[in-house]
């Protein structure tokens, strides 16, 4: 579904991604693990059109999308849940969700998907008229995910969904990620919580200082001594 070949991305003079290649097949959960500043967020921003690669190609469903504007990428079927959630604080939960469907014209489909988001996240239904800025961190994460689903993506890019959340909420969020995947959405998950990410992923890549240094099935990486020492607390 998604093929990234030898991309280089710069922030000014800083070489943030170096010759990165990876692929995501339809129906998979693929996770990208790595320390803070390794380039995970930069990669997702590049895939969703917020940054442009200096070289290399990004192909989605056989179409070249590298360097295309973000709205064209959303239209093609890719949604991005950014790090830090980025909900519109002065708008209600429902208004935030409706914004996720901004490019869609199928009113019946939008209504159906809104009901589905409320099924996935009952907490959001209870708070549908509440201002988003008054929600807890976990609720805002649910809202950011719900808003992305409203675009009806084939591929969902999730950036650090567990960041700053209590363990119980993290468990819930990861269960919902699995449900979304089972319903047919392919997922590329960026996550510092390597334990949780590898427990639900099919395959994984490890990124260090802008380079992919390891890849394999989630099980292989869970059993790798290198990964255990660096990301799983040596367990």
pLDDT given for residue 85 in this prediction:
66
- In a domain, residue 92? The reply is no
With H, G, I as helix, E, B as strand and everything else as coil, classify residue 144: helix
Distance CA 12, CA 33 (A): 24
- In a domain, residue 227? The reply is yes
- In a domain, residue 160? The reply is yes
- In a domain, residue 32? The reply is yes
- In a domain, residue 176? The reply is yes
Q: How many domains does the chain have?
A: 1
235 pLDDT more than 70: no
Boundaries of domain holding 57: 2-86+151-231
**CATH number, position 18:** 3.40.50.300
Residues comprising the chain, all counted? 235
- In a domain, residue 203? The reply is yes
Question: What are the strands of the beta sheet with 55-60, ordered from one edge?
Answer: 14-24, 2-11, 55-60, 63-64
Instruction: Give Dmax (Cα) for the chain.
Output: 51
pLDDT tens per residue, range 200-221 = 999 999 999 999 999 999 999 9
Percent of the chain with pLDDT over 90: 49
- In a domain, residue 213? The reply is yes
CA dihedral 34, 46, 148, 200 (to 10 degrees): -30
Predicted structure pTM score: 0.88
- In a domain, residue 164? The reply is yes
pLDDT given for residue 168 in this prediction:
85
């Amino acid at each position: 579904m998604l093929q990234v070949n030898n991309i280089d991305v710069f922030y000014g003079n800083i070489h943030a991604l170096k010759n990165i290649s990876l692929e995501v097949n339809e129906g998979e959960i693929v996770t990208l693990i790595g320390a803070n500043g390794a380039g995970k967020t930069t990669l997702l921003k590049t895939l969703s059109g917020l940054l442009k690669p200096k070289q290399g190609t990004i192909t989605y469903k056989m179409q070249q999308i590298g360097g295309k504007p973000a709205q064209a990428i959303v239209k093609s079927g890719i949604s991005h849940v950014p790090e830090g959630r980025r909900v519109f604080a002065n708008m209600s939960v429902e208004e935030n969700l409706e914004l996720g469907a901004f490019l869609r014209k199928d009113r019946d489909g939008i209504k159906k998907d809104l009901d589905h988001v409320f099924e996935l996240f009952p907490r959001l239904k209870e708070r549908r008229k509440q201002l988003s800025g008054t929600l807890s961190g976990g609720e805002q994460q649910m809202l950011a995910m719900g808003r992305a689903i409203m675009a009806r993506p084939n591929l969902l890019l999730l950036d650090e969904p567990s960041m700053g959340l209590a363990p119980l909420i993290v468990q819930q969020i990861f269960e919902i990620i699995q449900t979304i995947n089972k319903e047919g959405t392919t997922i590329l998950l960026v996550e510092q919580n390597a334990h949780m990410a590898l427990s639900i992923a099919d395959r994984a890549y490890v990124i260090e200082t802008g380079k992919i240094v390891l890849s394999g099935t989630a099980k292989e990486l869970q059993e790798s001594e290198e990964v255990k020492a660096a990301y799983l607390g040596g367990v």
